Chains A and B, each alone.
Chain A
């Protein structure tokens, strides 16, 4: 589904990604871990098409298409979803209104008719149950005055509504208490299927107790320095990031 080859990127003069390789197949869950500042959010942003980052080398193929050629909105319409580490506030626009616009933009791209209000509300009701989100929250201005946990839950709700092929969750666990974490993880698990894939970006292994990954990669200083199965996350937890740091400065 997703194939990243030797991806290099920089912002302004600073080199951030120094040759990333990653293969993700349908049905898989990959976790990307690593210390702060290693480039995890940069990778997520580049997948979503953020222009701040300049891709200086390598390629990304998504479902046979050159992802880097597509505009951010077309990537979304093709099925790439990013749950933001820092969700943005849009005053005066409710989540409902926002999602209605999004759902219909995606449908239009796919040559489908706009969804009528009744079917939309019905779908919304179903999905609110999946992620246990309070409907009153969805009527308020998007993310405005939301607590950290509410913002993250709202991201997962949006994911549920947009039904992406590839979901990238950027530190969706940070700032969540254990109950909220379980709800978010549960939401993601319910949406897992053999047709879609998830990349979970996280700093801690805690989330991986609830979203069990098929593969774990450690990103450090712009490179994937280790890959393995879920045991790698536990090892990382036990030894701490210094283990990675020491190993890599030694080389």
Chain B
């Protein structure tokens, strides 16, 4: 092995700083998955019959499906009977004030850098925190409700706003969409719900923070976000998990609905535990995210910074149904050590004059595998549509892999689809140039990587961008080629 690869290897080995476990009392379902599990969860949440029926339908459909194998990832078969499908911190779920939160829990969030009260109030971010299966608290509810904005846990929405949930749940991502959406629909435990009424610009960032804490537990949350005509919302999602030797499954579903002239900006900083450097443990992050631009001039923009998880399988997509609607996907996916990522997007152009833009920056280090997989489909009636895709891969060292799988289908002659792809290595000469100006190799790599990802990081709301830059540096500590 060359010297530079040795340096790279040393540099890429760093510790996951969110790997602690919180000792809180849990209430769990017994291990395993059957109709009884589904009924148990539904009963725990005191759900209406229609939702139980919906779950059971999903479960029965799931039984007929096989694990998909088309992604460029490998993992041993998952034993679905060895997972706990419901685990909730044992405290009453409806809180009258933040002061009622279990101090352990509160400390957990403080450790994660999320203050649930005063600090966040000042910085103007409304937070919904989901730990294991249950939403713990949603801040700022009163202030938001004055504008007619609903921002609450999914469980609460089922009871408080059943007409909205019933109308939209499963309309963008049908329960039959794929293996993991069927599973999620059967056993989802909580998640966030958000509705922005007509013409309202949400005055603050909305944020959900996901935390898996309990062992052997799967996390199956569901997010539903509806931006009514002419409204605007920016939504952030963050996630972490303890270090455990076993793999844990996270199979979430996110549905976005953007009506006429509405705009949704959805940002994710995904930092689930990636496993150790030998590939032991880590989260299987099998997530389905999709949005629909339902009306004319609607816009949906996905931004993701993916640094965690043992395996990431995720394609935030946009269905461009309304004429003149816009879909965007900005992604940074970092894999290190033994991590595997197969991520990208789908842009489905249905309306006329629709536009989409894809910017994907993959960074692979260690022995990891990093794939971009993207579909751009322009339907025959989507005349005058445009797509531009830029897919760049950056390699650190010579033991990792970067792959690009673009699928392009253009159904009419007036539309233009452009795809550009590059693969590069962090140059030894770039690092040396930095060294020569007094910048050590670790900082040099962080600087170069942040520069490489700039176009994507620029899309993130300010305070997330800073966070994401640090995260990139930590994820790649020591990777120089």
Contacts and interface: CB of A to CB of B under 8 A. Distances in A.
B445 to A, nearest CB: 11
A90 interface: yes
B440 A105 contact: yes
Nearest to A107: B438
Interface stretch (A70-78, A177-185, A193-201): A70-78
Contacts of B433: 84, 87-88, 90
Contacts, number: 78
Interface secondary structure of B, over-half rule: helix
Interface stretch (A13-21, A45-53, A116-124): A45-53
Nearest to B455: A92
Interface stretch (B58-66, B199-207, B424-432): B424-432
Nearest to A94: B451
Interface residues on A, range: 20 to 34
B429 A88 contact: yes
B436 interface: yes
Interface residues of B, number: 23
B453 interface: yes
Contacts of A81: 436
A50 B439 CA distance: 14
A87 B436 CA distance: 11
A98 B201 CA distance: 37
B280 interface: no
A97 B437 CA distance: 12
B435 A101 contact: no
Contacts of A158: 437
A91 B455 CA distance: 11
A133 interface: no
A51 B430 CA distance: 13
- For A48, A51, A75, A88, which residue has the most chain B Cβ atoms within 10 angstroms? A88
A93 B447 CA distance: 7
Contacts of B459: none
Contacts of B440: 71, 73, 105
B448 interface: yes
A82 interface: yes
Interface string B450-480: 1111110000000000000000000000000
A186 interface: no
Contacts of B198: none
- For B437, B438, B443, B455, which residue has the most chain A Cβ atoms within 10 angstroms? B438
A232 interface: no
Nearest to A88: B433
B3 interface: yes
A169 B430 CA distance: 18
Contacts of B453: 92
Given A91-B452, A101-B443, A48 B438 contact: no
A244 interface: no
A111 to B, nearest CB: 14
A88 B441 CA distance: 15
A50 B438 contact: no
A243 interface: no
Contact of A76 (B436, B450, B452): B436
Interface string A96-139: 01110110011001000000000000000000000000000000
Nearest to A89: B430
Interface string A225-247: 00000000000000000000000
Nearest to B392: A91
Contacts of A72: 432, 435-436
A176 interface: no
Contacts of B436: 48-49, 72-73, 75-76, 81-82, 84
B451 A76 contact: no
B441 to A, nearest CB: 8
A26 interface: no
Contact of A88 (B3, B427, B438, B443): B427
9 contacts: A48-B436, A51-B3, A89-B430, A91-B451, A97-B447, A98-B447, A101-B434, A141-B451, A158-B437
- 5 tightest A-B CB contacts, nearest first: A92-B451, A93-B451, A92-B454, A72-B435, A102-B437
